[in-house]
Structure 1
Amino acid sequence: MNILTENFTPPYQSAPFNEINNEDYFPAFEKLIRESEDEIDSIVKNPSEPDFENVIEALAYSGEKLDRVSNIFFNLNSAETSDELQHIAQEVSPILTEYSSKISQNEALFRKIKIVYDQKDHYNLNEEQQMLLNETYKGFVRSGALLNEVDKEKLKKINMDLSLKSLQFGQNVLASTNNYFKHITRKSDLAGIPETIIEQYAEEAKERNLEGWVVTLQYPSYIPLMTYAENRGLRKELALANGKKSFDGGEFDNQDLIKDLLQLKQQKAELLGYENYAEYVLEERMAKSPAKVLDFLNELLTKAKPYAEKEIEELKSLAKTDGIDEIQGYDHAYYAEKLRKAKYDLNDEELRPYFPLNHVQDAVFGLANTLFGLTFKERNDIPKYHDDVKVYEVKENDEYKALLYVDYFPRKGKRAGAWMTSYKNQYRKNGENSRPHISIVCNFTKPTKDTPSLLTFQEVTTLFHEFGHALHGILADTQYPTLSGTSVKWDFVELPSQFLENFCYEPEFLKTFAKHYQTGEVLPNEKIEKIEQSKNFMEGYQTMRQLGFGILDMNYHTKVGELATMSIKDFEDKYTKAIQLYPSNPETAMSPSFSHIFQGGYSAGYYSYKWAEVLDADAFHYFKENGIFNPKIAAKYKILLSSGGTKDPMELYKNFRGSEPKVESLLKRAFG
């Protein structure tokens, strides 16, 4: 028996992680692909006249079991991978891509879809049904349904290559990250670094059977060193190692892979009738065109640059007191922290004891209860994929709403960063509302034998960010799985996450959970005021950094022809020159580890973080004007979240806010 092809029996049909063996995956995928193809065949061969129900709706509900197993496998490949899983991924990705291409290029199926689409005015469709029909038709056209047979084969090959190469990109970054560690034998080299972090480094050394201390490129290890280490040589060494990830010419180098990926995307765009890949992507975004995106980014760049330059001048002055005539990128975090301490008498290590992870999690759960009436109860009878993971049953008015998996600490098998994902989508069918299984994955500072996990304030905002995404999934309430939860336009998807971060800076809310893990003392008012005052500290620099990523991404996906005669490093330097605030180092480049656009879903879409900041600043301003816990506004916001992709996002936003978002809200919040 293969557990993956059976009906799941744990509570709420949750994934039976404890019973899955790696050898189950490949045969399960083969079987479930066959079953899904049979479902498609039954739609195609149905002798009845094509209509919305027997074509569009039937297609929307098809492949549910395959989707679930795919979600389980690829989520684990990100959160708890192994050499074996990565090998399986390389085998499975091509067959899944081929399956997807078979459906999207199935002429008989598309003919039926087109008949229904052409006759849509004859059906009495509600708004969600109209959206599903339009999205289904467009999705097939954008997947090559109108191409001739030769071009369909070309597109199929391109999609398969893209799938494998993007997977390889991520595996290279993970391997490159894990391959490096710095073994330190003299404690004096760690001067300036807080004892809690030094203790963490000692634990890492012990795990590797080494004496002394070990620093890695995992963010909870790397960032504190860059922020607090007085040893400038050590900061430089770590920054160089981080900047060389997949850029050192070795086994895990991604430079050629980037060129291959961009060429393939360009070929795909041209085959489908677009000038470049960004044009193809942005047709399905709020922003609509590369020109509009670049105008948006450059407008913010013009506003932010004077602030950023002024901030860097302050850091240069501070560095000069240490005899440094030319400040470098690897000095930034160290002197920014010094300046923040001088300006606000505040540093992350002073705040850590007030933000034990369990308090922060209770706070975000409590906020979801205040705004949306949700409750969270830990379940120990639901299978998990790792001992670090906890599972919560989410209810609303005592009615089951969702499962939430939380996975907070770094491991060798987990990729860096933080993300929200889904193991099961929400949808309604045959009178039943099938509820979602949502997951948050982070890389927070681990607990040690003496202290619980204590978060930096940035880690606090990260948890709120990912929980904002989770709420988008938990509150989903749509008919069709393809329009549910976070299945929205990509430049709208960051609104819920970035919106929730705003609460971290509200004094009345902070006081409810920022309490010392040993004494229970509430974070003093003066520190809360300092957090508020420091909210926009280095905002110019941070804005420039995000704009740089967005501008580079947009140029990669509109000017791929230039790469034929340029190195990745030269291209990166050329298109980030306007935002460079420190000298460029010839030995480092960020593109080869820019997983968001070369492995994840942010190709030609990185701008959406800033785009969504306009939305979130405007939305939170609405709450601030009327009370941050205002139940009427929370109820309207809940409708926005639960609606998923059933309406145009601007229409959803205007229904909530009463008007379109104003960029002035962001500028006012950022720069006063």
Structure 2
Amino acid sequence: MTADTARDPNAAAGANPFDAGEWPTPFGLPPFEAIRHEHYVPAFADALKAHEAEIALIAGNPAAPSFDNTVAALERSGRALDRVASVFFNLTGSTTSPELQAIERAVAPELARHSSAITLNSDLWARLSAIDPQAEGLDAEQARVLDRTRTRFRRAGADLAPEAKARIAEIATRLAELGTQFGQNLLADENGFVLPLDGEEDLAGLPPFLRDATAAAAAERGGTHGHVVTLSRSLIEPFLVFSTRRDLRERAYRAWTRRGENGGETDNRRLIAEIVALRAERARLLGFESFAHFRLDDTMAASPDAAMALLRDVWTPALRRAGEERERLQALVRAEGHDFALEAHDWRHYAEKLRRAEHDLDEAEIKPYLPLEGVIRAAFDTATRLFGLTFEAVADVPRYHPDVRTWLVRDADGAEVGLFLGDYFARSSKRSGAWMSAFRSQERLDGDVKPIIVNVMNFARASGDEPTLLSFDDARTLFHEFGHGLHGLLSDVTYPLLSGTAVARDFVELPSQLYEHWLEQPEVLRAHARHYRTGAPMPEALLERLLAARTFNQGFATIEYTASAIVDMTLHLSAAGEDGLDVPAFEADALKRIAMPAEIAMRHRSPHFAHIFSGDGYAAGYYSYLWSEVLDADAFDAFREAGDIFHPETAGRLRRFVYGAGNLRDAREAYTAFRGRLPSIEPLLKKRGLAA
């Protein structure tokens, strides 16, 4: 792809916004309204060409290798490419289109080839290898950047023979193509399903908030039906909870669990087989027994054995707890006069009934006290009380979608920290799930660069002018992603390589999962859980019932998650893909060996497991959520031990060594610096109600 051949001769007249230097927009935000899809291909082509020239100058520098002329030069290179890519890939996730998807399919392998050309450059690797940190007197951060850069190159194949390097590059390119296709197939399946709810009979059992949400979804889909259920989690999960139509629950659940497995062009099973085979081959070329061994070699866990040991330690008590839950739910089915055996599409429905019976708690009773605006304020106020941050809504700034909201974040002394963007509502152009990303990351290499961080959610929008009400799980998701957001906002490093969330995969979930704890604190709920109509605080009795039910159904929740993590690890410990992987059969066999309850499905079945197949960010790493949960349960105990959930000294250490530290330290060292020791599993088991 060249700048000349890639340009669209039919493109509208006008300069390409990516050709400009610094954008003259408020806070340097991308000029979203001016960027059109035809701008991306030439922008990528020009940025790739510029980066290639920068790399050639660094690798061919006749001067002796030094930190400044090699490592720091690498850190300064590619900024034009970073700028184009950060805008493009944020938008392909949150507001894509057929045009953007076509560009994504074309550019993903180009970027993979470009990355491989850098990390497999022999001259560049020779320069990196020759730098002596002691002779140069590097400070701690510079030494860390040098170490992480060398690790990145080595793990990409820099030490390999030429033939192996060529194959590594081929594998990287093909994996980029497959991961892109996987994600686009998944989005197509999610957008392709609609369950119409026509008439009162189809709406049986649905509370007002869910009727409003399904009406809003129907309006967005063209208004052919009065109400519809889509495969957005914020719609389908409450539908499975409240609908009294067992047949409709089954149809919805089947569609939800069969995404990526429906035959035809969007079926992901053949992609998975090739992805697994290529990952296994790459790991062997790099000298590892399996892809799982390769991935975990550079994590806190360090080995698949350590990760699997944690998963087994949690699985056994969770399986016992889930069995007890199943018997109570089956008894409830019988008490209603039914003779069917509980199935997976029944669990949520009867669990909600059991929760009402055991805890006098109804989700429809909770949601009026958790309007989206109130939960956002709660998340912001928690950050104010912990870290002294303030959040000022700003208008008249570029937005990539009308739903996006922007806040200027300031520190306790009034200094600007960065921008925070919130994109909260589900839409058909957005992939499912919730995530944090950055349009610009913090660094100080050549000036004080402030971050632009975005949280993306998929909450079901209320119809008309009604406020959107969240479930407690939705509120937890918002706190979780805002914890990631703070990890990006509070980053305080010099070098881009170490910035924000660029940490070990099984450490990156600590800031997000830890932040969830504050949502469950009575002090926070009393201040912010207020009725959306009256402003009245959540009644004390309801708050107490809500908190008392925190460990309700945790057998189910733990099994649902842990099964996905075990299948992920098992899949990547295996080389089954080389001989043709039968994905459903492999998955079924792996679940059979751990005695997976038939009434519970994996949270993410393989054909729609975007965490591990739409890119490899969590591949052989989905265990990370549980590993980080060991850390977060223990970390919050530090505040309990201090006697104050906003204890200033403890919060100061948390900011310095976790939220603000990026990858300045090894993850174990960072956690120990905050807590004084490494954690144990007991707080996790207690948190989930699984302790003996």
- TM-score normalized by the length of structure 1: 0.97
Residue in 2 aligned with 1:183? 196
* Correspondence 1:415 to 2:428: no
Residue in 1 aligned with 2:68? 53
Residue in 1 aligned with 2:517? 502
Counterpart amino acid of 2:535?
G
- Counterpart selection for 1:459 from 450, 454, 474: 474
- Counterpart selection for 2:325 from 288, 311, 315: 311
Name whichever of 459-468 and 292-301 sits farther off. 292-301
Residue in 1 aligned with 2:636? 620
Give 1:89-488 correspondences, 5 Å limit: 89-116=104-131, 119-207=132-220, 208-322=222-336, 323-396=338-411, 397-430=413-446, 432-488=447-503
Q: What SS is found at the alignment partner of 1:550?
A: helix
Conserved? CA contact 2:215–2:463, under 8 Å:
no
Q: What SS is found at the alignment partner of 1:491?
A: coil
Conserved? CA contact 2:274–2:577, under 8 Å:
no
CA distance in 2, matches of 1:37, 1:378: 40
- Counterpart selection for 1:593 from 608, 617, 627: 608
CA distance in 2, matches of 1:254, 1:189: 32
Q: CA deviation at 1:533?
A: 0.6
Q: What SS is found at the alignment partner of 1:237?
A: helix
- Counterpart selection for 1:5 from 19, 24, 27: 19
Give 1:570-609 correspondences, 5 Å limit: 570-577=585-592, 578-582=594-598, 590-600=605-615, 601-609=617-625
Q: CA deviation at 1:563?
A: 7.2
Change (3 A) 1:138 1:203: closer
CA distance in 2, matches of 1:579, 1:389: 44
Conserved? CA contact 2:216–2:461, under 8 Å:
no
Conserved? CA contact 1:312–1:581, under 8 Å:
no
Name whichever of 42-51 and 419-428 sits farther off. 42-51
Q: CA deviation at 1:212?
A: 2.9
Residue in 2 aligned with 1:88? 103
Counterpart amino acid of 1:422?
A
Counterpart amino acid of 1:289?
S
CA distance in 2, matches of 1:55, 1:632: 39
Q: Identity over aligned residues, as a percent? A: 38
Q: CA deviation at 1:273?
A: 1.2
Conserved? CA contact 1:205–1:213, under 8 Å:
yes
Q: What SS is found at the alignment partner of 1:284?
A: coil
Q: CA deviation at 1:647?
A: 0.2
Q: What SS is found at the alignment partner of 2:421?
A: strand
Name whichever of 520-529 and 588-597 sits farther off. 588-597
Conserved? CA contact 2:95–2:430, under 8 Å:
yes
Q: CA deviation at 1:565?
A: 6.1
Name whichever of 179-188 and 382-391 sits farther off. 179-188
Counterpart amino acid of 1:345?
D
Q: What SS is found at the alignment partner of 2:236?
A: helix
Count of residue correspondences: 668
1:557-593 Cα deviation digits (max 9, x unpaired):
011327736521111111122252225899x992101
Q: What SS is found at the alignment partner of 2:305?
A: helix
CA distance in 1, matches of 2:554, 2:76: 45
Please list every run of 5 or more consecutive structure 1 residues that lacks an aligned counterpart in the other structure.
none
Q: CA deviation at 1:355?
A: 0.9
Residue in 2 aligned with 1:667? 685
Conserved? CA contact 1:544–1:579, under 8 Å:
no
1:481-538 Cα deviation digits (max 9, x unpaired):
1101000000000001000111111111111110001111100111111111111111
Conserved? CA contact 1:189–1:231, under 8 Å:
yes
Residue in 1 aligned with 2:11? none
Conserved? CA contact 1:220–1:443, under 8 Å:
yes
Runs of 4+ in structure 1 over 3 Å off: 562-566, 583-586
Residue in 1 aligned with 2:656? 639
Change (3 A) 1:65 1:566: closer
Q: CA deviation at 1:418?
A: 0.4
Conserved? CA contact 2:560–2:601, under 8 Å:
no
1:412-468 Cα deviation digits (max 9, x unpaired):
1000110001111111124x2211110000011213214111111111100000000
Conserved? CA contact 2:212–2:462, under 8 Å:
no
Conserved? CA contact 1:127–1:647, under 8 Å:
no
CA distance in 1, matches of 2:685, 2:257: 31
CA distance in 2, matches of 1:185, 1:73: 39
Q: CA deviation at 1:386?
A: 0.2
1:81-135 Cα deviation digits (max 9, x unpaired):
000000000111111111111111111111111101xx22312122211111111
Residue in 2 aligned with 1:657? 675
Counterpart amino acid of 1:607?
Y
CA distance in 2, matches of 1:145, 1:604: 22
1:7-26 Cα deviation digits (max 9, x unpaired):
21112211111110111101
Q: What SS is found at the alignment partner of 2:425?
A: coil
Q: What SS is found at the alignment partner of 2:633?
A: helix
Name whichever of 636-645 and 446-455 sits farther off. 446-455
Q: What SS is found at the alignment partner of 1:187?
A: coil
CA distance in 2, matches of 1:52, 1:243: 50
1:296-315 Cα deviation digits (max 9, x unpaired):
11111123221121111111
Conserved? CA contact 1:327–1:582, under 8 Å:
no
CA distance in 2, matches of 1:401, 1:48: 38
Counterpart amino acid of 1:190?
L
CA distance in 2, matches of 1:151, 1:628: 53
Q: What SS is found at the alignment partner of 1:580?
A: coil
Conserved? CA contact 2:404–2:421, under 8 Å:
yes
Conserved? CA contact 1:93–1:164, under 8 Å:
yes
* Correspondence 1:526 to 2:532: no
Q: What SS is found at the alignment partner of 1:442?
A: strand
CA distance in 1, matches of 2:580, 2:67: 50
Conserved? CA contact 2:273–2:580, under 8 Å:
no
CA distance in 2, matches of 1:10, 1:585: 47
1:297-356 Cα deviation digits (max 9, x unpaired):
111112322112111111111112231431000001101111111111112211111111
CA distance in 2, matches of 1:333, 1:394: 39
Change (3 A) 1:566 1:147: closer
Conserved? CA contact 2:276–2:577, under 8 Å:
no
CA distance in 1, matches of 2:156, 2:357: 55
